[in-house]
Structure 1
Amino acid sequence: MSDRRHRHLAAVSPDPAGFPGRWRLCGHAIGDATVLELHGEFDLASTLSARGRVMAVMDAAESAVLIDLRPATFFDCSGLRLLLSAHQRLRTRSGRPRVVRDHVLTLRLLHVTGIAAVLRPAPTIADARTPVVADGLPARRRSGR
C-alpha cells in the first residue's frame, strides 16, 4: 500500500465571467511530511488570494512541510512573500518549510534575494526530505562524518 495520500486543498473559484483561477493548491502526505504543491501563476493577485489557504495548511501541518514549486508556471516577488509568510508561520511552532524547485529562474530569484539560505531549496521531494545540518548541507552528503 502506498504511503502517499492525495487530497485537494484549495482552488480559486471562477471569476464572475466563469473563467477558472490561474492557480491551485494540492497537498498530500509522504511519510511524515506534508507536501503542498503550488500549481499555476503566482503573482500579486494570485498570492493574495492563495495566502489564506497556504497559511491554513501551515497551521494544520503536524510535521515537516515541503512546498513544491515545480508545478508553478510563474513565480515572482509576491510569491517570495508568500513563501516567507509560510516560513514565519511554521517557525512559531519550531518548524521550517523546505522548498522543492528545479527551475533555474526561480532558483536564481531565491538566491539573489537571500531567501534560499532560509528555505533551502531542493530539486526533488526525496532531496527535500533529507535532513539538513547546521552548515546547510544535507546530512548524507557531508564528507568526513
Structure 2
Amino acid sequence: MSEHQHSAAAPPGPAGLTGRWWLCGYPLCGVTVVELHGELDLASTLSVRGRVMAVVDAAESAVLLGLRPATFFNCSGLRLLLSAHQRLRTRSGRLRVVCDRVLTLRLLHGTGIAAVLRPAPTVADALTPVAADGPSAGRRSGR
C-alpha cells in the first residue's frame, strides 16, 4: 500500500527519495494508517487527494491519518481532512488524525476540526479510541 511522489526540488525523504511530499499507508490492528510526509500546501494536497481518497475508499471502516511527518500544513490540508472524514462518515466509518505539531494542532483547534477528528499524539494513542468508538461513532455523537 506504500506510495511515493517526488520531485527534485526538496531534500531527501525515506530511502533517499527526494520530494515535497510523499505518503505511505499500512494496515495496523484492523485500521488503515496513512502517513503524510513533507509539505502539504495547495499544490501538494491537490496531488495527494486522489491517493488519500483511494485509501479511504478501500479501508474497512477506520483510517488514521498521520500528520506527524508533515513539515507544513495549511488550510488546504484541512479541506483534505474534512473530505476524507465526510467520505468515511457516509459509510459509518471513522477518521482520526495523528498529530503532535503545535502549529498544526493550533489550526485544527482554531477551526473546530479537532473536536470532530480528535487528534492523538501517536498512532498507539489513536488506536484505542478508534476501536472503542466503533464504525458508527460519528453518527451516535451527532457529527
After TM superposition, give the deviation of residue 13 of structure 1 in Å: 5.0
Match of 2:106 among 108, 114, 120: 108
Q: Which residue of 1 aligns with 2:67?
A: 69
Q: Which residue of 1 aligns with 2:124?
A: 126
Q: Which residue of 2 aligns with 1:60?
A: 58
| Cα distance in 1 between the residues matched to 2:129 and 2:4 | 31
Match of 1:87 among 85, 88, 92: 85
Aligned 8 A contact 2:68 2:98 in 1: yes
| Cα distance in 1 between the residues matched to 2:76 and 2:63 | 20
List per-residue Cα deviations over 1:89-125 (Å, max 9, x = no partner): 1111101200000111110100000000111100111
| Cα distance in 2 between the residues matched to 1:23 and 1:127 | 25
Q: Which residue of 1 aligns with 2:4?
A: 11
Q: Which residue of 2 aligns with 1:23?
A: 21
| Cα distance in 1 between the residues matched to 2:61 and 2:107 | 27
| Cα distance in 2 between the residues matched to 1:105 and 1:13 | 25
Match of 1:37 among 35, 38, 51: 35
Consecutive unaligned residues of structure 1, counting only runs of 5 or more, are 1-6, 135-145
Secondary structure, counterpart of 2:79 in structure 1: helix
Which residue identity lines up with residue 5 of structure 2 in the other structure?
V
CA RMSD, 1 decimal: 1.7
The structure whose residues are more often helix, as a share, is 2
What is the percent sequence identity of the aligned residues? 74
Consecutive unaligned residues of structure 2, counting only runs of 5 or more, are 10-17, 134-143
